[in-house]
Amino acid sequence: MIFDYAITPGNSELKLSFTDRLRLKQMSYGSPKGGEEAYATGKVSIKGWKECELRPPPPNDSEVTYQELLQIKAIITASPKKFDAVAHEQDKPKPSFEFAFVDYIRDQENDDIYDLVDRLGEDLTRIGMHHKLRYQRPRPYQVADVYGMDLEIPIGKTTQTPSYPSNHSFIGKCIALHLAKLYPTHADKLNEMGDEFGLNRVRMGWHFPSDHHAGQELAYKVSGLIR
C-alpha cells in the first residue's frame, strides 16, 4: 500500500506566492528524452485503445498535489533500503522491467513468452506515452522545487517523460492481467509483480501516487482489448 503513512496537514495555498502559483499553473514537463521520444510516434497493434480515456491529473497548484508531495516525502523517509535496490533494477532501460515476466513464466512453466512481452511492451509504451504527452504533468521533484521541498529523489534513467500516468504501473499491470488469463494458476503472483513495478516508482519519488493509480486504471481498460 502507498497510503499507510501519516502526513502533515497543510494548506497549499498558504505556501505559495502569486508568482509561484502562476509558475505551477504554467508548468509542464515538455518533450520526452533519453530515447523515450521514439515512443511518441509509431503504430499500435491493439485495436480500440484510443477509446480508453483517463481523467486529467490534479492541477499542479492543488491541495491534492501538495498532499501527494507530503506523502512522497513520508514514503521516501519510511521506505526500507531494499526498495532502492529493486527500483534501480527496474529502472534499467535494457532489458526493460517487463521482461521479468518472461523469466518468471520460463521458470514456472518452461514456456517462452519473450515475443509476446516484447510486442506488448512496445504497444503499451506508445499508449502510455500518448497520455503522458496529452497531460504533460511535471515530475514530483519539479513541483516540489516550487514549494521549496527537497525530496532528495535519486535520478532515474527512465524518468525523462511526463509523469502522468506511470508507464511502469500501466505496462506492468496490463501485462500481468493478460498473462493471468493465459496462466490462471499464477494470477496472484503475476498481479503482485505488476503492482510492485508501479509502487516502487512511487516509493522512489519518481511518480505521484495518482500517476500510479491512473496507470493501473488504464491497464484494466486496455487489457481487455489485447488479442
- What does the pLDDT read at residue 111? 98
Non-local (6+) Cβ contacts of 16 within 8 A are 24, 61, 146, 147
pLDDT of residue 20: 92
* Amino acid letter for position 213: H
Which helix or strand (DSSP H or E) is residue 25 part of? Answer: helix 18-26
Residue type, 222: V
- Of 174, 170, 154, nearest to 85 by C-alpha is 154
Kindly list the structural domains of the chain, giving each domain's residue range(s) and its CATH number in brackets, ordered by start. Answer: 12-40+47-223 (1.20.144.10)
| Confidence (pLDDT) at 16 | 81
Instruction: Give the Cα-Cα-Cα angle 41, 158, 193 (nearest 5 degrees).
Output: 100
Q: Which residues does the chain have with pLDDT short of 50?
A: 1-9
pTM over 0.75? The answer is yes
Q: Specify the pLDDT at position 57.
A: 98
For every residue of 78-140, DSSP letters joined together read: HS-THHHHHHHHHT-SSS-GGGHHHHHHHHHH----HHHHHHHHHHHHHHHHHHHHHH-PPPH
Distance between CA atoms of 218 and 57, rounded to whole angstroms?
A: 13
For the CA atoms of 74, 79, 81, 84, the dihedral, rounded to the nearest 10 degrees, stands at -80
The residue count for the chain: 227
Gap between the Cα atoms of 126 and 120, Å rounded:
10
Compute φ and ψ for 30, nearest 5 degrees.
105, -155
Q: How far apart are CA 73 and CA 224, in angstroms?
A: 35
> What is the structure's pLDDT at 143?
96
Cα distance between residue 44 and residue 24, in whole Å: 33
Give the model's pLDDT for residue 75: 85
In the chain, what is the straight-line distance between the N-terminal and C-terminal CA atoms, in Å? 31
Residue 80 has a pLDDT of: 60
In which residue are the cell numbers 526498495 written?
Answer: 83
